[in-house]
Amino acid sequence: MANYDVIIIGSGPGGYVCAIRCAQLGLKTACVEGRETLGGTCLNVGCIPSKALLHASHQLHEAEHNFAQMGLKGKSPSVDWAQMQSYKDDVIGQNTKGIEFLFKKNKVDWIKGWARIPEPGAVEVGEETHTAKHIIIASGSEPASIPGVEIDENTVVSSTGALSLPKVPKKLAVIGAGVIGLELGSVYARLGAEVTVLEYLDQITPGMDTDVARNFRTLLKKQGLEIVTGAAVQGVEALKTKAKVAYTLRKDDSEHQLDADVVLVATGRKPFTQGLGLDGLGVEMTKRGQIATDAHYKTSVDGIYAIGDVIEGPMLAHKAEDEGMALAEILAGQAGHVNYDVIPGVIYTHPEVASVGKTEDSLKEAGRAYKVGKFSFMGNGRAKANFAADGFVKILADAETDRILGAHIIGPAAGELIHEICVAMEFGAAAEDLARTCHAHPTYSEAVREAALACGDGPIHS
């Protein structure tokens, strides 16, 4: 048994960042984690391994489609799936060991095991009970399914199973055209699988700027992904070596069946709070099964807080990180704060898709007057040289003040480019501020400047 200022349950991006910041601010801190490695879903079976496979498969795509045009000729590389899995696992290991090193460096105690909160101020792990002034729940989320579909992580898999398939399937069915489904669908399409994506709604990537989503779907189709929208999946029959997906098209109620070697269920995630004992504590929950908190991440029970995927808001690793740092500062007597209006979202396909702030649909719904600045990567010299000229940058600004309200990018390095706009928005910048900032040539970032220019007198290269 040990006494702490703070005990954090979960070592994902929210939990480990919160733990490190608490320790840096002078609080005696421990983090409880039941996995054999730190880092939570993100580092072990989520963000990091998926990006490793996306990177590897994109290199294959470049070799197959673009190398010869650049004068790089030779036999096209073959896929050694076992070696690619080994590469992915090595990337995971480097990152999880890195968190373990940071814990030791910052004197954060790792309490190994699964946590339960028997009463406020106490955390039970195995047969030991530890006490703390503050308990933070950062236990993350788990894959969610839909009625009629049972995940067995064999033939019918979640994102976790999809990262470690024994072989590349000939036919992959993906249920859900959100971030996870499209990223992993892209991986297997590049590796030679016939990929069909079934989406219940009439648009892919729900909530995304409509203009971007339309363009994105066209580009994914060119890459070989078959996307069926308005498809209501009725059930999945898992056989010994394949599966049958039954679905209905909502527009005409027609019934269809799709055969696949593997079915990936990518219909979202749900908060993971199993075994924590929240019911017995009387912790208030939302209707969607999230932990209810106030503006300072405090639950309905004194001394217990929650951050990340278990509370309301987008299930994003960086959102959890920001909440972790903010809460650590609050507990240390500082003024921790998260600006939820400036949290970017990224889809790591090729091209990448990134967004921040308002969409045109949300501005129209609010009745707010705005202007649009748009610039195609076809007008960007660097993008054309790198076979990456698909897509565009779109900036939304207030019609009167010119203040940037949102931005949406589909194109090369969109996940990096969006942060220039995030910084600008954080400081209340106008589109003209971006337009008057010198950008190095030739860079992809010039497209951001051109989009900002388009909010005013017009871009130069369009």
Phi, psi of 274 (to 5 degrees): -60, 135
Element spanning 122, H or E = strand 122-125
- Residue 194 DSSP code: E
Is residue 134 located within the same domain as residue 164? no
pLDDT at 407: 98
Question: Based on the domain organization, do 278 and 177 belong to the same domain?
Answer: no
Span 164-178, pLDDT tens digits: 999 999 999 999 999
317 is in an annotated binding site: yes
Nearest Cα to Cα of residue 352 among 403, 397, 406, 419: 419
Of 265, 431, 452, 424, which is closest to residue 344 (Cα–Cα)? 424
Q: Same domain, yes or no, for 9 and 133?
A: yes
Q: Does 290 share its domain with 401?
A: no
Which of these, 456, 457, 446, lies nearest to 376 by C-alpha position?
A: 446
Residues 319, 359, single domain; the answer is no
Q: Are strands 122-125 and 345-347 parallel, antiparallel or unpaired?
A: unpaired
What's the domain count of the chain? 3
Q: Are residues 137 and 20 in the same domain?
A: yes
Query: Annotation-wise, does 178 bind a ligand?
Result: yes
pLDDT in tens, 179-232: 999 999 999 999 999 999 999 999 999 999 999 999 999 999 999 999 999 999
User: Which residues span the domain enclosing 435?
Assistant: 345-454
19 & 120 share domain: yes
Q: Among 249, 267, 285, where does a domain finish? A: 267
In a domain, 75, yes or no: yes
**Is 199 annotated as a binding-site member?**
yes
Distance (Å, rounded) from C-alpha 269 to C-alpha 142?
A: 5
According to the annotation, is 309 in a ligand binding site?
yes
Mark whether 131 and 30 lie in a shared domain: yes
DSSP sequence for 20-83: HHHHHTT--EEEEE-SSSSSHHHHHHSHHHHHHHHHHHHHHHHHHHTTGGGT--SPPPPP-HHH
Which residues, other chains included, contact 205 with Cβ-Cβ below 8 Å and sequence gap of 6+?
177, 178, 179, 182, 213, 216, 347, 353
Please indicate, yes or no, if residue 459 is contained in any of the structural domains.
Answer: no
Residue 461 lies in a domain: no
pLDDT of residue 59: 97
Q: How far apart are CA 284 and CA 292, in angstroms?
A: 6
User: Does 351 sit behind a cis peptide bond, omega within 30 degrees of 0 on the bond before it?
Assistant: yes
**Per-residue pLDDT tens for 61-117?**
999 999 999 999 999 899 999 999 999 999 999 999 999 999 999 999 999 999 999
Q: What is residue 241's predicted lDDT score, i.e. its pLDDT?
A: 86
Reported as a single tens digit per residue, the pLDDT across 381-426 is 999 999 999 999 999 999 999 999 999 999 999 999 999 999 999 9
pLDDT tens per residue across span 14-61 = 999 999 999 999 999 999 999 999 999 999 999 999 999 999 999 999
* Same structural domain, 287 and 431: no
Residue 316 lies in a domain: yes
397: tokens are 């600004």
Structural domain ending residue among the three candidates 267, 290, 319: 267
SS3 111: strand
The model's pLDDT over 289-314, given as tens digits with 9 standing for 90+, comes to 999 999 999 999 999 999 999 999 99
- Whether 339 maps to a domain, the answer reads no
The alpha carbon of residue 389 and the mean position of all alpha carbons in its chain are separated, in whole angstroms, by 24
Catalytic residues: 441
Task: State the CATH number of the domain containing residue 366.
Answer: 3.30.390.30
pLDDT of residue 72: 96
pLDDT at residue 209, as a whole number: 95
Q: Are residues 131 and 28 in the same domain?
A: yes
Q: Is 183 annotated as belonging to a binding site?
A: yes
The answer to whether residues 130 and 216 belong to one domain is no
Q: By the 8 A CB rule, do 163 and 250 touch?
A: no
pTM of the model: 0.96
Q: What is the CATH number of the domain that holds 44?
A: 3.50.50.60
Q: In what order do the strands lie in the sheet with 254-260?
A: 231-238, 243-249, 254-260
Determine the pLDDT at residue 30: 98
Kindly report, residue by residue over 342-372, the tens digit of the pLDDT: 999 999 999 999 999 999 999 999 999 999 9
**Residue 337: inside a domain, yes or no?**
no
Has residue 240 got a pLDDT over 90?
no
Q: Is residue 171 part of a domain?
A: yes
Q: Is the pLDDT of residue 335 over 80?
A: yes
Q: Which two tokens stand for residue 405?
A: 């309200």
Tell me the pLDDT band of 137, cut-offs 50, 70 and 90.
very high
Q: Is residue 193 part of a domain?
A: yes
Last residue of a domain, one of 267, 284, 300: 267
Residues 245 and 285 occupy one common structural domain? no
Q: Tell me whether residue 39 is annotated as binding.
A: no
Structure tokens at 253: 């109620």
